[in-house]
Amino acid sequence: MLFFNQKILDYCEEKTSKNNLILNELERETEYKVLMPRMLCGNQVGSILKLISELKKPKFILEIGTYTGYSAICLAQGLSNDGQLHTIEINEELKDLAIKYFKKSKLHEKIKIHTGNALDIIPSINLHFDIIFIDADKKNYCKYYDLAINKINKGGYIIIDNVLWSGKVITEISEKDVETIAISNLNKKIMLDKRVENMLLPIRDGLMICKAL
């Protein structure tokens, strides 16, 4: 579902700073080699992630859902000098492609990639984070948020992608549509959570930004 006229979307993209060449190359390789390339966050969301990270200058970032590494590269550009990004990907087959571009971007020493189930891995990371980005399987979004809220530093940001889910969240939801139900439940959960201030932005497929109080 398009939330704006396509010409408006094209205009916004045209007037947004362009990716660096490495991210463009990663985007093209993802399109050619990986199933469901639309899962890549893209230039506009990536630019927001980079901007927030550069403003926050985080020491530690957690990313749930590496995919091919695009968003991790955007986020890692704002890390403090001694900072580190931990990213989790369940699909072992994507690891080599992500690492390839972490090295090309010269950020590989700041990025640690974990492969496996994020629900198991997150509790095993003995750190608290300044930014947590969630972009993984939607049916577990509420569980990821519950883990994230206990891992985020005061004043830190939890950022969640795909929270409009192609507009399905405003339609009548089938009881069999577990992904849309999960995202809708998460959006309601965040609105009622007094531990955060939040803003839902209608950018691409919907971006939720929460600040921990």
Q: What is the CATH number of the domain that holds 42?
A: 3.40.50.150
162-180 as b/e: b if 16+ CB within 10 A: bbbbeebbeeebeeeeebb
Q: What pLDDT does 4 receive?
A: 66
Q: What pLDDT does 11 receive?
A: 87
For 31-47, the pLDDT digits (tens) are 888 877 677 878 889 99
Look at residue 125 and give its three-state secondary structure.
coil
Q: How many CB atoms lie within 10 A of CB 41?
A: 24
Q: What pLDDT does 19 receive?
A: 75
Nearest CA to 158 among 78, 70, 49, 73?
Answer: 49
Q: Which domain holds residue 101?
A: 6-212
Domain assignment present for 56? yes
> Which residues of the chain are under the pLDDT cut of 50?
none
Q: How many CB atoms lie within 10 A of CB 155?
A: 10
HSE, side-chain direction, 13 A CA sphere, residue 32 = 7
Overall number of domains in the chain:
1
For 64-103, the pLDDT digits (tens) are 999 999 999 999 999 999 999 999 999 999 999 999 999 9
Domain assignment present for 76? yes
Q: What pLDDT does 166 receive?
A: 86
Q: Of all helices (H) and strands (E), which one includes residue 21?
A: helix 21-33
Q: What pLDDT does 86 receive?
A: 99
How far is Cα 148 from Cα 85, in angstroms, rounded to an integer?
Answer: 15
The whole model's pTM is what? 0.94
**111 and 95 Cβ atoms separated by less than 8 Å:** no
Domain assignment present for 1? no
How far is Cα 31 from Cα 206, in angstroms, rounded to an integer?
Answer: 21
How far is Cα 104 from Cα 135, in angstroms, rounded to an integer?
Answer: 23
Sheet strands (E) in 40-166: 60-64, 84-89, 111-115, 129-134, 152-161
Q: How many CB atoms lie within 10 A of CB 109?
A: 9
Domain assignment present for 155? yes
Q: What pLDDT does 70 receive?
A: 96
